[in-house]
């Protein structure tokens, strides 16, 4: 029996097909890069994380990281753009129940992001514009929703815009404190108690 021997060209083509089958899709590689960056940025910070470490954790060549993200900052920008979403939705408010309206807002903070992404968002806001802009949008949305909830809940609430704005900004500050500083200090503020204080002050 004579067994045919593949030519070098046939062998190379067969190896190439086998290699393509074993490699994950490009989209999967990009996702793994972002997953690794999210974990590392949340743990040690953006500045302390070398691109080589991201590639190592993602299980990809370092060059592939630069294929998707030409600069390391592009990894952070993509994380913030794709994995933190400030949700704009209707405010739930019952006339006469300002405290309840604020408490419901506290339980439904308009930020869709993992705990790791929340750490990144607050940690990197001081030094990176894209992160600061997303955090600013979150603050603006919380104030808008808190002010609107108070306007709906308080009889004649629309008449004192300055007080409502101050109350809404105060409540937003408490919620953002809960998301950032309390993670470092362990000191928690009860948003329901703050909601009650604000409601009583506005009556």
Q: What is the mean pLDDT of residues 61-90?
A: 92
Of 8-17, 57-66, 114-123, 129-138, give the lowest mean pLDDT range. 8-17
- Residue-averaged pLDDT of the chain: 82
Q: How confident is the model at residue 14 (pLDDT cuts 50, 70, 90)?
A: very low
Highest mean pLDDT among 51-60, 172-181, 193-202: 51-60
Burial of 142 (0-12, 13-18, 19+ CB in 10 A): buried
- The ranges assigned to domains in the chain are 22-82, 84-202
Place of tokens 């989209």: 27
Q: What is the number of residues in the chain? A: 203
- Rank 40-54, 82-96, 181-195 by mean pLDDT and report only the highest: 40-54
| Residue pair 117/83 in contact by the 8 Å Cβ criterion | yes
Fold of 22-82: Arc Repressor Mutant, subunit A (1.10.10)
Residue 2 pLDDT more than 60? Answer: no
Q: Which residue has the higher pLDDT, 120 or 107?
A: 120
Question: Token pair of 13, please?
Answer: 């083509």
Distance CA 87, CA 108 (A): 10
Greater model confidence, 94 or 65: 65
User: What pLDDT is recorded for position 68?
Assistant: 96
- Secondary structure (3-state) at 144: helix
């Amino acid at each position: 029996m004579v067994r045919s021997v593949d030519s070098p060209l046939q062998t190379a083509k067969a190896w190439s097909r086998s290699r393509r089958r074993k490699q994950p899709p490009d989209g999967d590689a990009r996702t793994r890069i972002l997953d690794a960056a999210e974990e590392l940025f949340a743990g040690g910070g953006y500045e302390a994380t070398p691109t080589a470490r991201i590639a190592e954790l993602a299980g990809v060549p370092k060059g592939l990281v630069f294929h998707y993200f030409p600069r390391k900052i592009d990894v952070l920008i993509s994380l913030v753009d794709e994995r933190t979403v400030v949700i704009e939705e209707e405010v739930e408010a019952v006339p006469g129940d300002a405290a309840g309206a604020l408490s419901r807002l506290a339980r439904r903070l308009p930020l869709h992001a993992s705990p790791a992404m929340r750490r990144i968002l607050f940690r990197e806001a001081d030094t990176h514009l894209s992160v600061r802009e997303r955090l600013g949008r979150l603050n603006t949305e919380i104030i808008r929703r808190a002010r609107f909830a108070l306007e709906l809940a308080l009889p004649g609430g629309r008449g004192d815009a300055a007080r409502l704005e101050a109350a809404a900004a105060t409540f937003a500050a408490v919620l953002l404190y809960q998301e950032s500083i309390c993670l470092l200090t362990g000191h928690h503020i009860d948003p329901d108690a703050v909601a009650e204080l604000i409601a009583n002050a506005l009556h």
